[in-house]
Amino acid sequence: MNDIIIDIWGWIKNDYRSNNFRFIIELVAWAISIGCAITMAATVPNPPLMALYPIWITGCCLYAWAAFSRKSFGMLINYMLLVTIDSIGLIRIYF
C-alpha cells in the first residue's frame, strides 16, 4: 500500500515539475469544478445558474487549455464541447 502512495506522490511531483504553470491551472480548474458541483447539490432544486454557468465555463476553458498543452485530443474535444454546450445554456438563460 505504501508503494502505491509513494508512486502516486512521485507521479504528482513529476507532473508538477514537467509544467508547474499547467499543474496550477489544472488545480484551479479542479477546485472550480468541485465548487460548482457542491453549490449545485446544495441549492437544488433552484441552483444559481446565472452565477454557476460563467464559473463552470471558465473552469472548462482552463481544462481545455491544459488538455491542449498536454496534446490530449480527447480531453481537448471534451472540454471544448462542454464550453459550447454550457455557453448555449448561459445564452438561453439571458435571452
Is this structure's pTM higher than 0.85? yes
* CA–CA distance, 89 with 29 (Å, rounded to integer): 20
Asked if the structure places residue 7 within a domain, the reply is: no
Task: Determine the angle formed by the axes of helices 20-43 and 49-69, rounding to 10 degrees.
Answer: 150
- 41: containing domain: 20-94
Contacts of residue 82, defined as CB under 8 A and 6 or more positions apart, other chains included, come to: 60
Convert the pLDDT of each residue in 36-95 to its tens digit: 999 999 999 999 999 999 999 999 999 999 999 999 999 999 999 999 999 999 999 988
Asked if the structure places residue 14 within a domain, the reply is: no
Report yes or no: 32 and 55 within 8 Å, Cβ to Cβ: yes
Count the domains in the chain. Answer: 1
- What is the DSSP-derived secondary structure letter of residue 45? T
Q: Which three cell numbers stand for residue 52?
A: 454557476
